[in-house]
């Protein structure tokens, strides 16, 4: 569980399939990393239930293709993407992620995780909290947060890090659920803090289906 103290940006679980499809259609170099048959299959499941087995498999195929191209292929496409973004040559749909991509490329140049920007993502306002269950991808990008988590020694990394990566293991672990991060989300929810003792100005943050809560001033 992460409670945003300041405005919070993260690559957090998979975006809705329709939004991913829009990025695949518009982002320079992204679709080049994905075989045509995989793109066609993914396009066919976009209008369907995103939690259906066929949709999850199609999303897995896209994510796997994006995360495992030959090094020369993705570095070439990433260089083209950065050049376009530095020149502000973007579609309207990309404007919200352009600065995010440029900033992360400065921190992690030539990192395959840069393309995850178009598959994952969420932004929180100060005071909002989000819960992420096991086997869901995430990377905190920028914010001051309070994080509550269980003891764990099984973090699997795939990108945007100088640490050891295990992409094949990650690809086989994820649930491949996609969400819109609304308060009614089934597996990930964004909720405002609820005041439990107004006279002491205390609040309790406890998102749905979450074993954690945080009491804060």
Asked whether 159 and 165 are in contact (CB, 8 A), the reply is yes
Residues noted as catalytic: 157
The two counts, helices (H) then strands (E), for the chain are: 6, 10
Tell me whether residue 197 is exposed, middle or buried, using C-beta atoms within 10 angstroms of its C-beta: 0 to 12, 13 to 18, 19 or more.
exposed
Asked whether 202 and 124 are in contact (CB, 8 A), the reply is no
- Which position has the token pair 């030539």? 110
Cα distances from 94 to residues 35, 74, 88, 138, in angstroms, run 22, 19, 10, 20
The residues pairing with 190 across neighbouring beta strands, listed in sequence order, are 130
Asked whether 174 and 135 are in contact (CB, 8 A), the reply is yes
User: Under 8 Å CB-to-CB from 217, ≥6 apart: which residues?
Assistant: 201, 202, 203
């Amino acid at each position: 569980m992460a409670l945003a103290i300041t405005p919070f940006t993260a690559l957090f679980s998979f975006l809705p399939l329709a939004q991913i499809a829009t990025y695949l259609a518009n982002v320079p170099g992204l679709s080049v990393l994905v075989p045509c048959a995989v793109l066609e299959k993914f396009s066919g499941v976009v209008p369907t239930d995103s939690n259906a087995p066929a949709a999850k498999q199609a999303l897995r195929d896209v994510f796997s293709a994006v995360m495992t191209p030959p090094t020369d292929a993705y570095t070439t496409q990433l260089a083209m993407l950065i050049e376009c973004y530095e020149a502000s040559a973007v579609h309207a749909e990309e404007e919200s992620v352009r600065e995010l991509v440029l900033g992360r490329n400065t921190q992690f140049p030539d990192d395959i995780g840069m393309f995850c920007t178009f598959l994952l993502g969420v932004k929180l306002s100060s005071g909002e909290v989000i819960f992420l269950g096991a086997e869901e991808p995430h990377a905190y990008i920028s914010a001051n947060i309070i994080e509550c988590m269980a003891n764990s020694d099984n973090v699997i990394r795939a990108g945007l890090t100088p640490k050891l990566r295990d992409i094949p293991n990650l690809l086989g672990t994820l649930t491949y659920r996609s969400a819109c991060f609304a308060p009614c989300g089934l597996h990930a929810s964004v909720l405002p803090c609820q005041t439990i003792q107004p006279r002491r100005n205390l609040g309790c943050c406890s998102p749905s289906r979450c074993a954690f809560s945080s009491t804060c001033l």
